[in-house]
Amino acid sequence: MWTPFILILLIAASAGYFLYTVSQRLQFSKSSRRPLPWDRAGARFWRVLREVVLQTRVIRERPVAGVLHALVMWGFAVFAWATFEHFVQGFHGLETVRPDTTPDPTWYGAFAAVWAVAVLVGISGLSFRRFVLRPKALGKPSPSSAVVALLIVILMLTYLAGWAWLEPGSPSWRANWWTHVFSVLAMLWVIPKSKHLHLLLGPVAIFFRSETTSGMRPLREDDDDDLGLLCFGELSPKDLLDVSACVECGRCSDVCPANRVGQTLDPKQIILRLQHGLLAGAEGIAGTAAQVQKGDYWVSEDDLFQCLSCGACEEACPVGIEHVGAKILDMRRGLVSEGRTHNDKLSSLFTTMERSPHNPWGVSHETRRKLIETEEFPVFDGSQEWLFWLGCGVSYDPHGQDVARAMRKILDAAGVSWGVLARETCCGEPARRAGNEYLYMELSEKVIDSFRSAKVKNLVTCCPHCTRMLDVDYRQNKSYEELGVRVVHHTELLAELAPSLHLNPQTETVTFHDPCYLARGRGVTEQPRAALAATGAQLVETENNRSRTFCCGAGGAQLFIADDKSDPPGGRINHQRFAQLAATGASKVAVACPYCPIMLKDAASQAGRDDIVVADVAEILADRL
């Protein structure tokens, strides 16, 4: 007769502790800096269905471990009703259960029993991997992982015992019943202070995750102290969800190019350091490696400035954590704003971009002017349909200029009305990605003024970095958003134009290197392939393609700030990527970004593979006209 009262006390205590602990980890103090996004709710719910219910991302990244995890997850979904019935039985009183009572005579009881076995298989396989095989990416085994695994085993065994083996109402059956109850409630005490909190927060973080690589937030105009992510109190609601939802699986570390070649950057550790600092009630987030070692700060400046902003970590994360724009790049911005950086090449980049001609290479505008005059590019006057935005890479790099010539041939052949600006200012992408918000704002205002004066409505560019800036970052500026400029990458336009071009297809084996800022930063993967297919190219794919592409090593301003005097233990990132491309046996590597050929041609030269041609999609298409 005391069973219901005891149950009420146990449930109240366990639920109260659970809710209190979770609320302490999710204190949205100053987090209004970046409110949670509620747009595209339908698409967000569909993503949760795919990635949480169907476990698509978990299985995709690690098929064997993913299936084992899915068995446990699906089994617990089945057991939700069985657990409810178990507690209801206690509220009715265990005294009412007689020896002649059939345990759960419905079909659901047998169905749950089958899933209990499946869960035991899943948790056994995961435990063997976690505690015996111990993959490096998982890190050191934690006691909480062992406790949760043990509780899951107990839950399944006690269910099976009560359902099939023990006589209902007997002393052994009652002991088994209470063991099951205590195991369920013990979860509420263990989960809030362990990585298993992802069971609750993971679906929420996935719902609010950006569809593409996370972007940098705009600094608050009404807050002069908003200089970037400096303190733990400035973490946004999504940041708090992320650092508490981390499952510590190490998938982000496995795919991070910097981590794979042996650099110190580890996306998983970035999130965990944020988590530990938050729980410790710390104030400052990022500092030098020495300051982190001393305990004054939690995240190392060296690690932050190794990031390529490629988004591979976010693409691999099974719980929707946003490492790049929302955290790493915002922490960079905080360090730069306070003048607490110690990278000479970073300072050199900013100095170069601050001075005329305001491009990261410091090349004279005369180089671009000669290209326009020699090739007789039409100057945009507002009457043409398209503004062809050259950007710094196409304007000043020799190969980039070849791409511009190819685009001219294609646009003219397609009868497209187009023009270029007589003078361009860098869009500020390297400055913002490297953390110099003030310089970015200064440069972007000049660009916006030029667009307004020229009455630009449609813009095409060969640079995914410029595309991302002009189509995402710039729209944080209301004056730019009001212009209503449509921005597309040149491969998107080429895919539209290809069917109307008079092409002479020729068969050749080509592999396409997906630029990170195009595939993950924009979600464009099929248009470049469609344009290449129109040329007769026989495409062979690399191991890392489309949204799972491998960075060339230039993103996140690394082309300008990386230390090129020493090689990481695992070799250079561009060398690794070129090796992947060369392994396809293709005679030509197609690219769609001005940064990628710089990195890949250097790697090809180092490897002595001058027989492999690196060419932009536009060049290949123009050659078939």
Tokens at residue 75, please?
A: 């089994």
β-strand partners of 172: none
Name the pLDDT band for 177 (thresholds 50, 70, 90).
very high
pLDDT at 31: 52
Alpha carbon 553 to its chain's center = 16
β-strand partners of 413: none
User: What does the pLDDT average to over 574-590?
Assistant: 98
User: What does the pLDDT average to over 160-167?
Assistant: 88
Cβ-in-10-Å burial (0-12, 13-18, 19+) of 326 comes to buried
State which H helix or E strand residue 460 sits in: strand 458-461
Domain ranges of the chain: 3-193, 232-342, 357-496, 502-623
Name the pLDDT band for 222 (thresholds 50, 70, 90).
confident
400-450 pLDDT, tens per residue? 999 999 999 999 999 999 999 999 999 999 999 999 999 999 999 999 999
Q: Please state, as a whole number, how many other Cβ atoms lie within 10 Å of the Cβ of residue 356.
A: 9
- My answer on whether omega of the bond before 357 falls inside 30° of 0, hence cis, is yes
Query: In terms of CATH architecture, what is 502-623?
Result: 3-Layer(aba) Sandwich (3.40)
Residue 601 pLDDT > 60:
yes
Phi (first) and psi of residue 166, to 5 degrees: -95, 150
pTM attached to this predicted model = 0.94
β-strand partners of 419: 387
Tokens at residue 20, please?
A: 């209190």
Look at residues 610, 605, 607 and name the one whose alpha carbon lies nearest to residue 588: 610
Amino acid identity, position 5: F
State which H helix or E strand residue 589 sits in: strand 588-591
pLDDT at 146: 94
Tokens at residue 315, please?
A: 């693409």
Name the pLDDT band for 13 (thresholds 50, 70, 90).
very high
CA pair distance 527, 310, nearest whole angstrom: 20
Amino acid identity, position 133: L
CA pair distance 103, 80, nearest whole angstrom: 17
CA pair distance 426, 407, nearest whole angstrom: 20
Residue 3 pLDDT > 90:
no
pLDDT at 100: 60
User: What does the pLDDT average to over 610-622?
Assistant: 97
Assign domain 232-342 one CATH number from 3.30.420, 1.20.120, 1.10.1060, 3.40.50: 1.10.1060
Between helix 344-354 and helix 437-454 the angle, nearest 10°, is 30
Tokens at residue 383, please?
A: 């009457």
Given strand 486-489, what is the order of strands in its sheet?
418-419, 386-389, 458-461, 486-489
3-state secondary structure of 483: coil
What are the C-alpha distances in Å from 123 to residues 57, 126, 176? Answer: 19, 5, 21
End-to-end CA distance of the chain: 88
Residue 30 pLDDT > 60:
no
Tokens at residue 431, please?
A: 């400055």
User: What does the pLDDT average to over 451-467?
Assistant: 98
Tokens at residue 297, please?
A: 């700060």
Question: What sign for the dihedral angle of Cα 412, 414, 420, 426?
Answer: negative
Q: Which residue has the tokens 């023009």?
A: 419
Residue 131 pLDDT > 60:
yes
Look at residues 261, 244, 253 and name the one whose alpha carbon lies nearest to residue 313: 253
HEC profile for 265-319? Answer: CCHHHHHHHHHHHHHCCCCECEECHHHHHHCCCCEEHHHHCCCCCCCHHHHHCCC
Amino acid identity, position 372: I
User: What does the pLDDT average to over 314-323?
Assistant: 97
> Do 299 and 235 form a contact (C-beta atoms < 8 A)?
no
518-556 pLDDT, tens per residue? 999 999 999 999 999 999 999 999 999 999 999 999 999
CA pair distance 472, 455, nearest whole angstrom: 19
Amino acid identity, position 154: I
CA pair distance 419, 459, nearest whole angstrom: 10
> Do 450 and 442 form a contact (C-beta atoms < 8 A)?
no
pLDDT at 32: 55
User: What does the pLDDT average to over 601-623?
Assistant: 97
Average pLDDT of the residues of the chain: 94
pLDDT at 308: 98
* Cβ neighbours for 42, distance < 8 A, ≥ 6 positions apart: none
Residue 28 pLDDT > 70:
no
CA pair distance 339, 252, nearest whole angstrom: 29
Look at residues 126, 116, 125, 263 and name the one whose alpha carbon lies nearest to residue 195: 126
Residue 26 pLDDT > 90:
no
Look at residues 593, 592, 608, 609 and name the one whose alpha carbon lies nearest to residue 559: 593
pLDDT at 103: 60
pLDDT at 579: 98
Residue 1 pLDDT > 70:
no
334-380 pLDDT, tens per residue? 999 999 999 999 999 999 999 988 999 999 999 999 999 999 999 99
